[in-house]
């Protein structure tokens, strides 16, 4: 190897090392404290199990995201159920699930086949269980605005600004 080539190799090695150094320094600087997953449930284990069972039985997750997992077959832009209990009360949820025409309570922008179906035909116990379980699905305060924004945009198809109540 000639002298000039050696010099170039050394220069490249130095540049690479400097970049690695800068990068690892930046990572220690930029890393924010991990706030974790903002969604949680206040339900006791038994309600969690009964609620999750009903959601599975009625295929709610064909249309709705829950626990951040999006069904890849899901094509309907329906609001996520994560954090829904921080937006809606248990009695609201019960009324909504019990309505013959849920679109009278919550207007839709979707074609009939994608809209929220009526679950008025379920037994009262099942509707109460679902409402209680949904009401237990909460979001941490620091992520609440994100949930409101995403719900608003799903329901209206419009961009959310300043509380979205224009
Ligand atoms: C065919 C798709 C579909 C299925 C299945 C479905 N939903 Fe929905 N749901 C929607 C859509 C779409 C909306 C938004 C309102 C509308 O467009 O009708 C909605 C709205 C809701 C809301 C109100 C959300 C909000 O922002 O306040 C709740 C709660 C809800 N659904 C729960 C359920 C539960 C529980 C099940 C199962 C028992 C279920 N959904 C099954 C499509 C669906």
Whose C-alpha lies nearest to ligand 1, atom 41?
60
C-beta of 15 in contact with ligand 1 (< 6 A): no
Q: pTM of this prediction?
A: 0.81
Nearest Cα neighbor of 35 from 138, 136, 140 is 140
CB 94 within 8 A of CB 127: yes
- Which distant-in-sequence residues (6+ apart) come within 8 Å of 52 by Cβ? 133
**What is the architecture of the domain spanning 39-164?**
Orthogonal Bundle (1.10)
One pLDDT digit (tens) per residue for the chain, 166 residues: 677 888 888 888 888 887 877 777 776 665 566 778 999 999 999 999 999 999 999 999 989 999 877 766 666 789 999 999 999 999 999 999 999 999 999 999 999 989 999 999 999 999 999 999 999 999 999 999 999 999 999 999 999 886 545 4
Q: State residue 163's pLDDT score.
A: 52
Task: Tell me whether residue 50 is exposed, middle or buried, using C-beta atoms within 10 angstroms of its C-beta: 0 to 12, 13 to 18, 19 or more.
Answer: middle
The residues, any chain, with a CB within 8 Å of residue 129's CB and separated by 6 or more, are 47, 50, 51, 54
Closest C-alpha among 102, 56, 78 to residue 150:
78
C-alpha distances (whole Å) from 97 to each of 29, 77, 123, 127, 149 are 48, 19, 11, 7, 23
Pocket of ligand 1, candidates 64, 120, 134: which has the most ligand atoms within 8 Å of its Cβ, to mutate? 64
């Amino acid at each position: 190897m000639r002298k000039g080539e050696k010099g170039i190799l050394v220069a490249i090695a130095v540049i690479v090392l400097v970049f690695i150094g800068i990068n690892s320094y930046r990572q220690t600087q930029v890393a924010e404290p991990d706030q974790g997953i903002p969604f949680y449930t206040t339900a006791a284990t038994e309600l969690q199990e009964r609620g999750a069972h009903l959601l599975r039985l009625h295929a709610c997750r064909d249309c709705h995201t829950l626990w951040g997992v999006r069904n890849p077959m899901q094509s309907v832009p329906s609001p996520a159920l994560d954090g829904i209990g921080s937006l809606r009360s248990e009695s609201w949820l019960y009324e909504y699930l019990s309505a013959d025409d849920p679109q009278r309570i919550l207007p839709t922008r979707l074609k009939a086949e994608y809209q929220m179906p009526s679950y008025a035909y379920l037994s009262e116990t099942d509707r109460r269980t679902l409402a209680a379980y949904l009401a237990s699905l909460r979001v941490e305060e620091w992520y609440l605005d994100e949930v409101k924004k995403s719900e608003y945009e799903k329901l209206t198809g419009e961009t959310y600004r300043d509380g979205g109540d224009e």
